[in-house]
Every structure is written in structure tokens, then in C-alpha cells.
Structure 1
Amino acid sequence: MGAACLGLGLSLAGCVEDDDGDTGGDDTFRERVIGVGYCPPELCGSNSDIGGAFSFDSRSVDANANMIFVTAITPEGDEAVIRVLRDRLELQVGDNPPLQNDEIVGSQLVFDHVEDGVATGERTIIHVDGFQLDAVETWSSPKAQYSTYTFTFRDSDEPEEDRKPLCAEYPWPDSFGLDNLDSTAGLLVQSESYDWYGRAIENVEDPFDWATLGCMGGAYAKKVLMGYDPHHPGTPGEEGKPDLQQNEVMMRMLTARYCEGENHTDPGTPLYWQNEWGWNNFDDTEVELEALWTPDGVACLNTPRLVDRAAVEADCGTLPTCDDFDAADYHMASYRVL
């Protein structure tokens, strides 16, 4: 995990509402535009090649990156039961009231490394260093607020002073207006499970007890802040309430994972998108359709946003262009900047 968590400098993306509902760009893709409307390019117009997320099962069963969650330790040094309630951690010792919000700052989450199901004796410790209540709001409808956490980590044989940020520092451009948002912070979301590269963890029968820590610059946090969170109110799959498959579509689109192979993009690559509900981030930038997306990758692909088509097909095999596909049949379309 250590090597994967270092050296990330990813840009933030999201969506905000435009009063006049003007989408700009190619408005022939959908017959109607509702919900989000215009999103400033400095917030929305980029993607991430890494999911920037770490998931674990709070029942001490499993975690990604070949780890098993072992226990939580309170700031006082007591072992605690961990609970995840939507975007919050709670720690409880015996019959005492649970520790919440700022009370868990200073606590630790301990993970055993495993190989072929057997503990190797190595451990990684994630430290909770900071908490900010309702620190960031989604750029989509319906609006939702998320608390943020700041984490560091170390191997158990390393001294405290060698702790490293779980989420790398990213200098927000002044135009983002995010001076009060710590770029090393992360979101916590219950009931989803993704690895560091943005891939859904397989064989998770019941994700309720799983939790995902998503770094602010990674694709997972972008997905959540653009309204793709299973906890939004409403009926899954209907307007404004993405279901699990639609969440997976967004993750694949953000990371340019066109098939079951690699992610084919770099941090900050310009990207525009629109879903079947009219959520989009068009402005006056000239764009063209890149791909139509499914939970398994692309149904069709025109010119990829970054790499040559030959590189994608070397990974995925031959893919059709979108000439004979109807965008209205798909939840998500992505657009490349010309």
C-alpha cells in the first residue's frame, strides 16, 4: 500500500448548478438538460488515472491491497469496535458512548498484510490526524455535504516520525476557490468497495459494512462529489440516485478504463461528460464524443481522450466506433476536447 499511496498530485473535478441551464457544446446528445447544468472547466474539466481510494470491511474481514482490517485503537489506547455511518467513523469501547467526529482524532486503524490468506506478520497503521465536519458539498443535485478526514500511515516497524500522508498534497489553483479545503483530506463513504486504482473489489456479497476512504484528488472522491453516492435519497437507478452499476460506469469513465485492462489517462487530462439525466459540464469548449459507457467499459469508442486508439485496442481488443450507436441507450457519454 505504501508505494501506491505516494506521489499523487491529482486535480479536483465536480459540478455546480447554472441558473440559466445552458449546456453549451454539443447539445444534441440529450433531448433535455436538467439537474446540474454548467460546470466551470477549472473544477470539472479533468479526470484522474487513479481511484485514490482504500476500502475495508469494518467487521474485520477483508480490505483491498492484500490486507485485513484488524482493529481500531482510540486516542487513549483502547481497542474499539468501529462503525461507519454514511460519511462518519465511530469508535466504541464496551458500553461507553461512541467516540465521534473530533473525538476520534488521534485514533489508529490497524491492518495485517496477508498472502494467500495467511498473515505475513507485517502491519500497516493508518492514523486519523484531522476531522472537519461537513467540509465539502457536492457539485450536483441533490446537494449533500461530506465531512473530511486527514490520514497518515506507516508500517508497524517504522517510527511515528516516519508517517506519510495517505493523500498527497495538491496545490489548488487560486481559481478553484478551495483555500479552506485541505488537499490532503479524504472522504469516507459507507457501502462501497474500490481499490487504489479505481476498480471495484470483487466478491463483496454485502457492501453494507464496507467503507472507502477517498482522497480528494482521486477519481473516487470526484465520483462522490459529482453525486454518485449510494446514500443519496431516492430510488436507485432513477433520476438523481445512481445505483451501483451507474456508480461503476462513472468510475470507469473518470479513469478511462475502457475494458478490463488498464486505465488510459493521466491526472488533469481535459474531460467532459453527460449522463442520461442531463448532468453535465459543458461550456463553450469545442468537444467531440469520445465514448459511450457501460459498467463493463465502453460500448463504443471514437478517439480516446489521451492515448492513441491503437494503445487502447492493444489492451482491449478491437472496439467499434460510435457511429451506429444511439447515445440515448446509455447512462454516460464522455467527450474529448478538440
Structure 2
Amino acid sequence: MLPRLALPLAAIVLLTSACAAAPADDDALEFRDTYTCGTCPPNSPRTNDFRLPELRRSGLPNAEGLYAVGLRDTNGTLYAFDAVDDEFVARDTNGANVASGGDLVGWDLVVSDGVNTIDIHIRAHDAEIDSKADNGDPISAYALAFDTDEVPVETLNLCPDFRDEPDRPTVTLIVGERYDPEGKLVIANQPDWVTLACEDEALFKMKHLNYGPNDDFDGLGAPATVAQRQATIKMITADYCGSGYSFTAQGTHVHWENHSRHVAAVGLPDDAKFEAAWTADGALCLGTPRLVEVADVELMCELPPCDAPSYPGAEWYTWDGE
């Protein structure tokens, strides 16, 4: 059995990168939320902004040097770490599935930086989170928490926006795909990798909209294409120019609707202002941005005004949430 040593709190808290906003006034917009719309969902400028964004099934380190040591049961027995069908799986020495999904509640996910280890407590599991798409299956999420090295010890949710709710399921898994947070890009066909996506951030929202690489998108078992997933991330993060720069702030509300209309713009007011049509490359056109001014976007790229009811090739359409 491995020693149960705690990493310093600073080694597990969220990354210190600030929310991206308008070039003209980053500091003012970083903490600005707009909650004027009761029916449209909030967007996010962050694709996966916390300290444990991904792990490898093989046990090799991720970019931060952290790796999964294994899954420890309530009796202290350590099993091999795996993930299949967007669920954690504990395997014995013969590779047999010992426990997965909700059966792992009460267990610990043990991770290490090569020197110290930390126990990530699996405190809850919810397999029935309703999809935001009318043709989507429910998704699942785990409540993952860790203990601080402070006195008195605090147990905190792994997701930064929910630190004070350690029993809230906020982490959904995306197996077999990675994401570039700087470019807001999909890195497909990565079978060794498991992305841990936090609620209220773009990758969780993408999966919640039935666009995950392991979701039944077409009703016949096939997922959305890489281009469709990337368009979804660009739309959620307001990456108009397709460069990876997000012209929004956490919690800003926006109405969205996809091409198939399985995700409809619920409660769209008659006077809603059209924002953009979206592809994997960003916005095809720009109307009224959800947070900044058109002039702010023009400092980075030139986009034609939106002057048509629909755009060939667009995966998403958005309207501001005012």
C-alpha cells in the first residue's frame, strides 16, 4: 500500500490563468457576470480550468506531472486505475472489472506527482443528469474532493467553482479525447487519456449538450464529429476569431440553438439580438456580442455582419442573453 501523503493545497487548486475577456478592459470584465436571462444558459470562457484536467489510463504522467496510482477501496486495497464508457473502473491484477461508476463511492482515486501522493475522495456519483438535448441520454458525474493540509483540515470539491460543496457531483469524464485550452481545440483519438471536465466549464457543457465523443449524437450510435465538437467549444467560449481567445466571462448568459434543433433556444424573446453563426473555425459572422463590443472583436479579426436567417455549414446559432 502506498503512503497517504497529502500534496500541498497549492498543488491541487485551480490554475491561476484568468478568465479571458475584452482586450480593452480585462480586469473589469474578469469578475463581471450578467444574470438577466432566466431561461438561457450561462457560457464559460474556460475549457477545463482546474488542476487535474486529465489523466492517462496507462499510469503515465499528464502535462502537470500527475499520474493515477490506482483506486483504493474502503478496506485499503489498491486496484489498477482505468476508465471506460466515461466511467472510472477499478481492475484487479488480472484486468477484471472489480468496481465502476457508482460502486466506487467511498473509494479514493490515488494520484501522485512522483514524490507525494494525494487521495481524491469519490464521495458521490450521479448517473441521471438529464441531457440538454432532447435526443440525448443522461450523463454521469462524480463528486471528487480532497483534504487540505491546513489546520483544521478542510475537504474541498476538486472543481474550483464548487470548493465548498464536496458532496456535489461536478466532474464528468470524457474518455479517449483531449482538449487544447489555449486554442480551444479538440485533440481526437487519444485512447490513453481521460479528460475530467468540471461543471460550469465548456467541456462539461459540450458533453451535457450531447456532443461528447462517446455520446449517441445521431440516434444510431455515432457521436458528433470532431468539427461539431470543436464548433460547440468555440460557441460556448465566445471564440469568435477561432484563435482561442474568449470574448466573454464566466456566467454570462446566451441563448443557443444547434443546427438539428435538438438543442433549442428556449424562451428566446422576440427582441433577442442575434450574435453569431458558428463552425469549428469560430464565428462565420458577428451581430451583437454577448458581452463585449464589436469594436473589441475587430481588434483581433474582421467578421462580416450577420445578415441572413441561416448559414450553410453552421452548427450553432446564438443570441445575446439580455
TM-score (norm 2): 0.73
The AA in structure 1 aligned to 2:92 is V
Which of 71, 74, 98 matches 2:72? 74
The structure-2 alpha-carbon separation of the partners of 1:264 and 1:126, relative to structure 1 and needing over 3 Å to count, comes to farther
C-alpha displacement at 1:142, in angstroms?
A: 2.2
1:224 is paired with a residue whose SS is helix
Separation of aligned partners in 2, 1:77 and 1:7: 36
Matches within 5 A, 1:147-166: 147-153=140-146, 161=153, 164-166=156-158
Separation of aligned partners in 2, 1:276 and 1:200: 20
Question: How many percent identity over aligned positions?
Answer: 23
The structure-2 alpha-carbon separation of the partners of 1:109 and 1:263, relative to structure 1 and needing over 3 Å to count, comes to farther
1:329 is paired with a residue whose SS is coil
Separation of aligned partners in 1, 2:260 and 2:301: 31
Separation of aligned partners in 2, 1:130 and 1:67: 25
C-alpha contact (below 8 Å) 2:157/2:167 kept by paired residues: no
C-alpha contact (below 8 Å) 1:152/1:165 kept by paired residues: yes
Q: For this pair of structures, how many residues does the alignment match?
A: 285
1:67 is paired with a residue whose SS is coil
The structure-2 alpha-carbon separation of the partners of 1:7 and 1:60, relative to structure 1 and needing over 3 Å to count, comes to same
C-alpha displacement at 1:165, in angstroms?
A: 2.0
1:94-131: CA deviation from partner (whole Å, max 9, x where unpaired) = 1365222333533223143xxxxxxxx66573603323
Q: Unpaired segments of 5 or more residues in structure 1?
A: 9-40, 113-120, 172-180
2:14 is paired with a residue whose SS is helix
C-alpha contact (below 8 Å) 2:182/2:244 kept by paired residues: no
Which of 232, 235, 242 matches 1:250? 232
Q: Unpaired segments of 5 or more residues in structure 2?
A: 1-10, 19-36
1:160-219: CA deviation from partner (whole Å, max 9, x where unpaired) = 935532124559xxxxxxxxx9655221222222366793465x6x32232222222222
Identify the range of structure 1 (53-62 vs 286-295) with the bigger mean alpha-carbon deviation: 53-62
Matches within 5 A, 1:49-198: 49-52=45-48, 54-64=53-63, 66-75=64-73, 76-95=75-94, 97-100=97-100, 101-103=102-104, 105-112=106-113, 125=118, 127-153=120-146, 161=153, 164-168=156-160, 183=168, 185-194=170-179
C-alpha contact (below 8 Å) 1:187/1:215 kept by paired residues: yes
Measured on the aligned residues, the alpha-carbon RMSD in Å equals 3.8
Does residue 257 of structure 2 align to residue 265 of structure 1? no
Separation of aligned partners in 2, 1:137 and 1:5: 29
C-alpha contact (below 8 Å) 2:104/2:122 kept by paired residues: no
Residue 177 (structure 1) aligns with:
none
C-alpha displacement at 1:277, in angstroms?
A: 0.6
Separation of aligned partners in 2, 1:318 and 1:160: 53
Separation of aligned partners in 2, 1:111 and 1:313: 45
Which of 274, 290, 303 matches 1:319? 303
1:60 is paired with a residue whose SS is coil
Residue 33 (structure 1) aligns with:
none
Separation of aligned partners in 2, 1:198 and 1:182: 32
Matches within 5 A, 1:268-287: 268-278=251-261, 279-285=263-269, 286-287=271-272
The AA in structure 2 aligned to 1:150 is A
Identify the range of structure 1 (287-296 vs 123-132) with the bigger mean alpha-carbon deviation: 123-132
The AA in structure 1 aligned to 2:58 is R
Identify the range of structure 1 (44-53 vs 238-247) with the bigger mean alpha-carbon deviation: 238-247
Which of 227, 230, 233 matches 2:213? 230
Separation of aligned partners in 2, 1:3 and 1:307: 29
* Shift >6 Å, 4+ stretches: 157-160
1:287 is paired with a residue whose SS is coil
Q: Using CA pairs below 8 Å that are at least 6 residues apart, which structure has the higher relative contact order?
A: 1
The structure-2 alpha-carbon separation of the partners of 1:47 and 1:159, relative to structure 1 and needing over 3 Å to count, comes to same
C-alpha displacement at 1:265, in angstroms?
A: 1.0
Residue 8 (structure 2) aligns with:
none
The structure-2 alpha-carbon separation of the partners of 1:300 and 1:234, relative to structure 1 and needing over 3 Å to count, comes to closer
The AA in structure 1 aligned to 2:45 is D
Separation of aligned partners in 2, 1:46 and 1:168: 17
The structure-2 alpha-carbon separation of the partners of 1:105 and 1:201, relative to structure 1 and needing over 3 Å to count, comes to farther
Residue 18 (structure 1) aligns with:
none
The AA in structure 1 aligned to 2:287 is N
The structure-2 alpha-carbon separation of the partners of 1:70 and 1:215, relative to structure 1 and needing over 3 Å to count, comes to closer
C-alpha contact (below 8 Å) 1:300/1:325 kept by paired residues: no
Residue 36 (structure 1) aligns with:
none
Identify the range of structure 1 (218-227 vs 160-169) with the bigger mean alpha-carbon deviation: 160-169
C-alpha displacement at 1:281, in angstroms?
A: 1.7
C-alpha displacement at 1:253, in angstroms?
A: 0.7
Residue 292 (structure 1) aligns with:
277
